């Protein structure tokens, strides 16, 4: 199963006036989800309780409304064996979108490398830039940046820490 089978990307061109936010638990810890009317915009791990502050810092002029919306439920379904169709509404450059689309092609239980992703998007020398785009993924787990490993097959880095990355990969392995 590839995320691209269930997920579509749309580009956020202007900051939304409001975002619907919700809290949930996952196999990897508490998360904060945010969605505009057009799709899911963020998922942040909230194990330190600071996700709401990060959301406010990222969107200082956007009104945050605590309410569950269908985009949240669709996102949470991706932590189960029955993922639903999900629309992502993300802010990013053309390059970042190309990288995120390539990540959506990595199947559950599979991994790739930064170099392989760079080659897939037609820019094999952009390994560091790919790493940067992977690190700017705003939707934890949904765009599977955790499935990208270093060239030596080591875990490499991860925004949420390599312990979380290992936990996710170990959780996915028997579900593939």
Indicate if the pLDDT at residue 151 is higher than 90: no
Q: What confidence tier does 93 reach under pLDDT thresholds 50, 70, 90?
A: very high
Q: How far apart are CA 83 and CA 33, in angstroms?
A: 16
pLDDT score of 1: 66
Say yes or no to pLDDT of 97 above 90. yes
Mean local confidence (pLDDT), 120-131: 96
- Please state the rounded mean pLDDT for residues 118-125: 97
Is the pLDDT reported for residue 126 higher than 80? yes
Q: What is the dihedral of CA 131, 73, 13, 49, to 10 degrees?
A: -60
Q: Spell 1-19 as b/e; 16+ CB within 10 A means b.
A: eebeebbebeebeeebeeb
Q: Quick one: what percent of the chain has pLDDT higher than 70?
A: 99
Q: Are 40 and 77 in contact (CB under 8 A)?
A: no
Q: Which residues are catalytic?
A: 145
pLDDT at 78: 94
pLDDT at 85: 96
- The matching CATH number, chosen from 3.40.50.2300, 3.50.50.60, 3.40.50.300, 1.10.10.10, for 92-175 is 1.10.10.10
User: Would you give the distance in Å from CA 104 to the centre of its chain?
Assistant: 10
Q: Give ranges for CATH 3.30.160.70 in the chain.
A: 3-89
Kindly list the strands in the beta sheet with 29-36, ordered across the sheet, starting from the edge strand earlier in the chain. 7-11, 86-90, 39-45, 29-36, 18-26, 63-66
Which fold does the domain 3-89 belong to in CATH?
Double Stranded RNA Binding Domain (3.30.160)
What's the rounded mean pLDDT across residues 109-116? 94
Question: Where, residue-wise, is CATH 1.10.10.10 in the chain?
Answer: 92-175
DSSP-assigned letters across all residues of 113-144: EHHHHHHHTT-TT-HHHHHHHHHT-SBTTTS-
**Predicted pLDDT of residue 90:** 97
Q: Rounded mean pLDDT of 35-64? A: 92
Specify the pLDDT at position 152: 84
From the CA atom positions of the chain, what is the Rg in Å?
15
Q: What is the mean pLDDT of residues 141-150?
A: 95
């Amino acid at each position: 199963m590839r995320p691209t089978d269930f997920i579509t990307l749309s580009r956020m061109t202007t900051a939304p006036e409001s975002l619907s936010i919700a809290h949930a638990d996952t196999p990897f810890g508490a998360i904060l989800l945010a969605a505009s009317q057009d799709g899911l915009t963020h998922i942040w791990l909230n194990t330190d309780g600071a996700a709401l502050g990060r959301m406010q810092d990222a969107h200082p002029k956007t009104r945050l409304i605590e309410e569950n919306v269908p985009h949240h439920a669709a996102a949470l379904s991706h932590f189960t064996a029955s993922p639903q169709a999900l629309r992502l509404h993300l802010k990013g450059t053309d390059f970042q979108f190309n990288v995120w689309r390539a990540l959506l092609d990595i199947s559950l239980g599979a991994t790739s490398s930064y170099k392989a992703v760079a080659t897939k998007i037609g820019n094999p020398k952009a390994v560091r830039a790919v790493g940067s785009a992977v690190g700017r993924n705003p939707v934890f787990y949904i765009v599977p940046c955790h499935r990208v490993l270093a060239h030596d097959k080591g875990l490499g880095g991860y925004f949420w820490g390599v312990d979380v990355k290992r936990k996710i990969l170990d959780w996915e392995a028997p579900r593939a």
